[in-house]
Structure 1
Amino acid sequence: MDYAKESLKLHYQWNGKIEIGCRVPLETRDDLSLAYTPGVAQPCLEIQKDVRKSYELTRRSNLVAVVTDGSAVLGLGDIGPEAGMPVMEGKCALFKAFGNVDAVPLCIRSKDTDDIVNTVRLIAGSFGGINLEDIAAPRCFEVEKRLKECCDIPIFHDDQHGTAIVVAAALINAFKVTGRKQGNAKIVINGAGAAGIAIGNLLLDMKFGNVILCDLNGAICRGDDNLTSGQAAISLRSNLEQERGSLADVLRGADVFIGVSRPNLVTEDMVSSMNQPIVFAMANPTPEIMPDAALSAGAAVVGTGRSDFPNQINNVLVFPGVFRGALDARASDINEEMKIAAATAIASYIPDDKLKPDYIIPSALDRKVPAAVAKAVAEAAVKSGVSRI
């Protein structure tokens, strides 16, 4: 199928992928009086007395805003907020289909950090959570940090943390398949933007081993010139041996390669220089190395971001369940404990006796995964003290 041609045709037919539905009867005068004036005044007054009642008397308890400035949309880059709208609508559709979470797209006509933060801050009282989407690095780090400081609802940048969670889940099971123990692995991440840094931080938090990030200039070390704020922060806890050189240099002897970068950057020789390699080549649509090439070079486990190969490492396994759990717990934050719980729940969904090199991660279409993730995330929210129920 020519997906581009067929998708464009269908988008013209659909005229949008989401719509607002009505949850109440509006057939009689009494229906109107109860759903609207005069009856609606009473829930308004209850919320005025206690703003927490907004979670019980409105749809806020199940409502998420998907927020973008259109500056880093999929692989298309800075195409603008309106052009990013089809992606945001798609994200909202996935929220509903997989997590029964109502979501609305908010595409902001500004790349100014102050504008974005202030816009979201001012509307936060209408939502139970905010999903930041396709905002370019390093601005995305500052936007998320400042919103977490000024909002009392979960702020979650899926490009960062959703990617990190699903990678961690896949890596838990890849370690089981290859007989590795978490703790002393050498993990090389190529791509030191939002996703790469978030993956690195979560893998370090989960104590997988030593993480080395690479960008166009090779391995990142603390003290390097021209590091972004996110790169500088992670450089203080990664690349413990301060290895320098190209991607090929640092891949020698590595246990894991994780690619969130560009097509065809990894060669078979680079894979064969690794140690019983785990290769997650997730550049889309063309990975850093094609799975057949990685396997022929000796890779033990291979995953990509694509649906036409085994082990698709896809964020749709993460964000519907994470937000479902956060909303169910009425959480004020999505913290590290909740992210780790989500990764563990996704990994544990596959029984150990079913794991094999081409089956380390559940299908992105398995509708039972979000429920398992939601349960684990809600429990973690309670244990970590961010639940408000």
Structure 2
Amino acid sequence: MNHVTREEALEYHHLNGHPGKLSVIPTKPLETQRDLSLAYTPGVAAPVLEIEKDPELAYEYTNKGNLVAVISNGTAILGLGNRGALASKPVMEGKGVLFKKFADIDVFDIEVATEDPERLISVVSAIAPSFGGINLEDIRSPECFAVETRLQEMLDIPVFHDDQHGTAIILGAALINALEVTQRRIHEIKVVFSGAGAAAIACANQLVKLGVPLANIWMCDIAGLVYEGRQKEMFPQKEIYAKGQQPGTLAEVMEGADVFIGLSAANIVKPEMLSRMRKDPVIFAMANPDPEIAYDLAVATRPDAIVATGRSDYPNQINNVLGFPFIFRGALDVRARKINDAMKVAASQALAQLAHEPVPADVLKAYDIDHLEYGRDYLVPKPLDKRVCPWEAGAVARAAMESGVARRPVDLDQYCRQLADRACSH
């Protein structure tokens, strides 16, 4: 992994005297007086009146259908905590760059200066008509659950808190394949979580949707086991995963586990804890930048393990860039009213299936490797694989249509061909 210094990062964001990472570029000609008349007054009057009569025509006459709002109040920025709305802007711009690069989706990043969930909900709902979808980002737990749920109920466009569902969808794909490689049945495994925040709870929810029994998921946080009747650090979404009636440590809970999922803090898992796990353990240590146990130490301790992290310098990176651009691409293109469970499951399954396919030469070149094939060290596709867009967005679009939330059905074969062409040309 190329280490990035503070100075390099600051210079990148101020490169060539053009601060930031995004800009707005016109899509229509503006060279003549006639162009100006069409672009503004009097030309804008015609689409205004048409949209007033039929709001769906906003998708035809404006950029609404390819525009996502990336919104944060800065209360949970990456691993940096509550740094305020303005400080979240580099991250929101970064999300915008990824949306554009990987799925050709335009973004306005919006930083809302409030820690009041009700005010945040009010602001987002008021500006929502401008957009085809809302990507919530870096909003602290447990407020994020209510913010997302309320907005989903209020709006008729997709509202998606990526800190929750993005990681969950990629994790789901990786687990599907890890269980296949180790010849396990999803309904028989014991899963232990370290971490019980927004991402961990969304990951657990996704695993339940994929077939892991709720009774088989054990969750620990900074206070230890989440057990029935515990008062400290509890909220309703966490209480769903309470197990037993007494305290317990992470080390105790990992006894006999098939799968460890870390979404917590660096270096809290010790080698002896891995020794308590079953044969061929699946270890997803995803704290960033440093995982719950170092990759090399995990492999040295349990050579029979499948290990994944959130880092790009080790195999099996669980990275949400494999999710949100393509999930929104599929949702936008069928004008979905929401991103529902069926669409999230379809995204996980599509990524899992794509990993079985031979890896093209251009992907190997992009990552400067000679060989890559499905197995213990390759559970999910690489983000720079141009096939991800048609596979995942196509699966999401199909699920949206089949589950009844799509307002604009598409011919899937033709749509996937168009996505492939678009990915290769972008």
Q: Aligned match of 1:290 in 288, 294, 306?
A: 294
Structure 1 residue 371: Cα displacement = 2.6
Structure 1 residue 356: Cα displacement = 1.4
Could you tell me whether the CA contact under 8 Å between 1:318 and 1:370 is conserved in 2?
no
Q: Separation in 2 of the partners of 1:133 and 1:97?
A: 18
Q: Which amino acid aligns with 2:388?
A: V
2:99 corresponds to: 95
Structure 1 residue 302: Cα displacement = 0.3
Structure 1 residue 3: Cα displacement = 3.3
Q: Separation in 2 of the partners of 1:352 and 1:50?
A: 44
1:9 corresponds to: 11
Structure 1 residue 51: Cα displacement = 0.6
Structure 1 residue 40: Cα displacement = 1.5
**1:264-310: per-residue Cα shift (whole Å, max 9, x none)?**
01011111110121000000111000111111222520000001111
Q: Separation in 1 of the partners of 2:333 and 2:228?
A: 40
Structure 1 residue 243: Cα displacement = 7.7
Q: Separation in 1 of the partners of 2:65 and 2:274?
A: 47
1:79 maps onto 2:98 in alignment: no
Q: Aligned match of 1:361 in 353, 362, 380?
A: 380
1:228 corresponds to: 235
Structure 1 residue 229: Cα displacement = 2.4
**Would you say how many aligned residue pairs link Structure 1 and Structure 2?**
385
Could you tell me whether the CA contact under 8 Å between 2:72 and 2:110 is conserved in 1?
yes
Q: Separation in 2 of the partners of 1:51 and 1:8?
A: 43
Structure 1 residue 368: Cα displacement = 2.3
For the residue of structure 2 that corresponds to 1:156, the secondary structure is strand
Q: Which amino acid aligns with 2:383?
A: A
1:217 corresponds to: 223
For the residue of structure 1 that corresponds to 2:187, the secondary structure is coil
1:338 maps onto 2:343 in alignment: yes
1:264 corresponds to: 267
Could you tell me whether the CA contact under 8 Å between 2:228 and 2:246 is conserved in 1?
no
For the residue of structure 1 that corresponds to 2:86, the secondary structure is coil
Residue pairs, 1:137-176, within 5 angstroms:
137-176=141-180
Residue pairs, 1:1-389, within 5 angstroms:
1-13=3-15, 14-209=18-213, 210-226=216-232, 227-232=234-239, 234-235=240-241, 239=243, 244-275=247-278, 276-298=280-302, 299-351=304-356, 354-389=373-408
Q: Which amino acid aligns with 1:6?
A: E
Q: Separation in 2 of the partners of 1:103 and 1:192?
A: 30
| Mean CA deviation greater in 2-11 or 89-98 | 2-11
Q: Separation in 2 of the partners of 1:23 and 1:176?
A: 47
Give me the identity figure in percent: 50
Structure 1 residue 4: Cα displacement = 2.6
Q: Separation in 1 of the partners of 2:283 and 2:396?
A: 28
Q: Separation in 2 of the partners of 1:324 and 1:109?
A: 28
Could you tell me whether the CA contact under 8 Å between 1:244 and 1:250 is conserved in 2?
no
| Mean CA deviation greater in 4-13 or 63-72 | 4-13
For the residue of structure 1 that corresponds to 2:267, the secondary structure is coil
| Mean CA deviation greater in 359-368 or 15-24 | 359-368
Structure 1 residue 7: Cα displacement = 1.0
Could you tell me whether the CA contact under 8 Å between 2:229 and 2:245 is conserved in 1?
no
**1:285-338: per-residue Cα shift (whole Å, max 9, x none)?**
110001111112225200000011111100000000000000001001000000
**1:185-235: per-residue Cα shift (whole Å, max 9, x none)?**
000111100000000111012112411111112221233223112212x23
Structure 1 residue 370: Cα displacement = 2.6
Q: Separation in 2 of the partners of 1:351 and 1:138?
A: 37
Q: 1:32 to 1:107 in 2, by over 3 A?
A: same
Q: Which amino acid aligns with 2:333?
A: D
Q: Which runs of 5+ in 2 are unaligned?
A: 359-372, 409-426
Q: Which runs of 5+ in 1 are unaligned?
A: none
Q: 1:320 to 1:388 in 2, by over 3 A?
A: same
Q: Separation in 2 of the partners of 1:174 and 1:149?
A: 35
Q: Separation in 2 of the partners of 1:129 and 1:41?
A: 25
For the residue of structure 2 that corresponds to 1:280, the secondary structure is strand
**1:152-201: per-residue Cα shift (whole Å, max 9, x none)?**
11110000000110100110111111111211100011110000000011
Structure 1 residue 242: Cα displacement = 6.4
Could you tell me whether the CA contact under 8 Å between 1:167 and 1:199 is conserved in 2?
yes
Q: Separation in 2 of the partners of 1:222 and 1:57?
A: 54
Q: 1:379 to 1:285 in 2, by over 3 A?
A: same
Q: Pairwise CA RMSD of aligned residues?
A: 1.4
